[in-house]
Each structure stands twice: as structure tokens, then as C-alpha cells.
Amino acid sequence: MTESTNTNHTKLFNGDEKEKLKQLIREGIQVLREMESLKEGLSDTVKNLAKEFEVKPGVLRKCIKTAYKADWDKTEADYLQMEHILDAVGGK
């Protein structure tokens, strides 16, 4: 057995490593809290604008995700394929 591992092959952290891990966890928690707050704010904005523009919030969220991923071509192709399938089965 080496100084840095125990018999279960679990790393034993020295003082400096423990401090780095503590800092990582503190910063990670802060980032997750900020992300949660930002998501809540975006959700509220989407709901308000959806009401104002008389569209479903899901449509606005889909617009945001499509713009973020920059994948309109794929999205458009998916919708065209869906339209074709629904036409074929009389579900449109």
C-alpha cells in the first residue's frame, strides 16, 4: 500500500488536495445556485412574453433551444418528416 491509497484503492487526499476539493465543491454549489436562479428568471420571462404574444410558452422555449443549438436545418427537416408521416396516416 502506498501513502496515497488505502487497501480499497480509494485515494487518500492530503491537506492541499482536500482544500482544492472543498473549493471546487463551494464553487460548484454557487454555480448551480446561479444557474437555478437564471433558469427561474428565464422561465418567468418566457411565461410573461408568451401571454403577451398569445403563444404557448413551449413554442418560445423551443425557439430559444433551436437558436442556442443553431440547428434550425435539423429541426426543420424533423418537422417536414413529421408532416409527411402525419399526412400518410391521416393524422394531420
In whole angstroms, give the CA distance from residue 34 to residue 11: 31
pLDDT at 79 over 90: no
pLDDT digit string, tens, across residues 6-64? 566 789 999 999 999 999 999 999 999 999 999 999 999 999 999 999 999 999 999 99
Distances (CA, A) of 48 to 4, 30, 36, 72: 55, 27, 18, 25
Which residues does 13 contact at the CB level (< 8 Å), separation at least 6? 21
Regarding pTM above 0.85, the answer is: no
- CB-CB contact of 60 with 51 (8 Å): no
The per-residue pLDDT for 76 is 87
